[in-house]
Amino acid sequence: MKGIEAGNNLLLGVTGGIAAYKSVELARLFRKAGVNVRVVMTEAATRFVGPMSFQAVTGQPVRVRLFDEEHEAAMGHIELARWADHLLIAPASADFLARMAHGLGDDLLSTLCLATAAPVTVAPAMNIHMWSHPATRANLSLLTERGVQVLGPASGEQACGDTGPGRMLEAAEIVSGLMYPRKTGLFSGKRVLVTAGPTREAVDPVRFISNRSSGKMGFALAEAFAGQGAEVLLVAGPVKLDTPAGVRRIDVQSARQMHEAVFDNLQGVDVFAACAAVADYRPVSPSDQKIKKNAERMELTLVRNPDILADVAALENGPFTLGFAAETRALADNAGTKLAEKGVDMIAANLVGENLGFDVEQNALLVLWPGGEATLPVQDKKSLARELIGILAEHYQ
């Protein structure tokens, strides 16, 4: 997470949503923390809260329109884009995220998004159905791939009466998310790459081979590392999960795509955590056309996929490697063999099967490293992830 500190210039973009009223408090808290704040609102935002409120707490004129001779004469929009050390859009509406994703520049705020070289963070706020709509999901993953940071949203009761994810984070949470991202924590200043979820190996244009991994453990791990100050990149297979706050995410489908995404982004990585349930095999030649059911029997020939974890572990001067072992029996023996054979620095092993491991909220882990082991009892995956990276921090130096 790229953050800001006292004395920095923060451009706060406010878009149209009921959460816009929270942004007045947000501007006030940033001012109180010693950050210089200038506010740009969209036309829609002015329907929810008046520019005067922001002017009162920031002591600066608030801008809304792109073609505004008076304001442009004082500080042109390109100058404003250069002035910013960070651009925060809070609340970021579904509509604004869509316009950002498509690179529109039809008002002042969207133009600033294109014109600024500063890091951009969005704090989305919208109705739960708008948040989970495939269009919003796609826009957000495009934005995070381009390096846009995402804070929130929170889950809970919404202004419209629905309950679920979509609420903007509280002002204080956004301030601490941006101002104290990497100052403290076990992985402060470290870069971590996490793989998560299953992969899909195409059989034909409509069929694939995959597995039951939900990605929950990998996402919990990415969140835990970010919470301990790391700069986290998450390479995720197809999953239905929101990107944790402050985490950059690249979505992939197949094992080979995951391998490529990992190796393209390995430069400077301190810890590589392979949590993905990568398909070990893929159909040797996926059909271009949908396969018809003409034959009584059919045979599918599979070939081995590259082993991402083993390839990273084999690098000279590579990162510290954490692997996972999903086993249906003889947990300690199988995990011990994997630790040695793949040459990884640490293995977190868990039993999988009926109601265990995959697609459930809780899990337990046996953690092994050369010369030691620890057992983490059954618990929520998020707290399991936090405990696991605590152990990792002790060993990775």
Cβ partners under 8 Å of residue 225, min gap 6: 187, 192, 194, 232, 271, 273, 389
Nearer to ligand CTP, 148 or 335 (CB): 335
- Residue whose structure tokens are 């004082």: 74
Reading the block at residue 83, the tokens are 């002035």
Nearer to ligand CTP, 10 or 222 (CB): 222
Q: How far is the CB of 371 from ligand CTP (least distance, A)?
A: 20
Nearer to ligand CTP, 121 or 305 (CB): 305
SS3 state at 127: coil
Nearer to ligand CTP, 230 or 276 (CB): 276
β-strands 302-304, 281-283 pairing: antiparallel
Long-range Cβ contact pairs of 176-179 (< 8 A, separation 24 or more) = 177/1, 177/151, 177/245, 177/246, 178/1, 178/3, 178/4, 178/86, 178/88, 178/121, 178/151, 179/3, 179/4, 179/5, 179/33, 179/35
Nearer to ligand CTP, 65 or 256 (CB): 256
Binding site for ligand CTP (CB under 6 A): 195, 255, 274, 276, 278, 280, 305, 307-309, 323-326, 338
Q: How far is the CB of 358 from ligand CTP (least distance, A)?
A: 12
Q: How far is the CB of 255 from ligand CTP (least distance, A)?
A: 5
Nearer to ligand CTP, 128 or 310 (CB): 310
Compute the distance between CA of residue 1 and CA of residue 180 in angstroms, rounded to an integer: 10
Q: From start to end of 125-205, where are the E strands?
A: 149-150, 154-157, 163-167, 191-196, 201-204
Q: How far is the CB of 294 from ligand CTP (least distance, A)?
A: 33
Q: How far is the CB of 286 from ligand CTP (least distance, A)?
A: 18
Reading the block at residue 77, the tokens are 């929009």
Q: Is 275 a catalytic residue?
A: no
> How deeply is 103 buried, as exposed, middle or buried, from its count of CB atoms within 10 A (0-12, 13-18, 19+)?
exposed
Q: How far is the CB of 276 from ligand CTP (least distance, A)?
A: 5
Nearer to ligand CTP, 158 or 195 (CB): 195
Chain length of the chain: 397
CA angle 189, 190, 194 (to 5 degrees): 140
Compute the distance between CA of residue 1 and CA of residue 225 in angstroms, rounded to an integer: 11
Q: How far is the CB of 224 from ligand CTP (least distance, A)?
A: 16
Which residue in the list 56, 160, 303, 314 is annotated as catalytic?
Answer: 160
Please, which residues bridge with residue 39 across strands?
Answer: 12
Is the sign of the CA dihedral 153, 156, 159, 163 positive or negative? positive
Is the sign of the CA dihedral 17, 18, 24, 27 positive or negative? negative
Q: How far is the CB of 308 from ligand CTP (least distance, A)?
A: 3
Nearer to ligand CTP, 1 or 366 (CB): 366
> Helix %, strand %, coil % for the chain, to 5?
35, 25, 40
Which three-class secondary structure string do you get for 277-315? ECCCEEECCCCCCCCCCCCCCCCCCEEECCCHHHHHHCC
- Just list the catalytic residues: 160
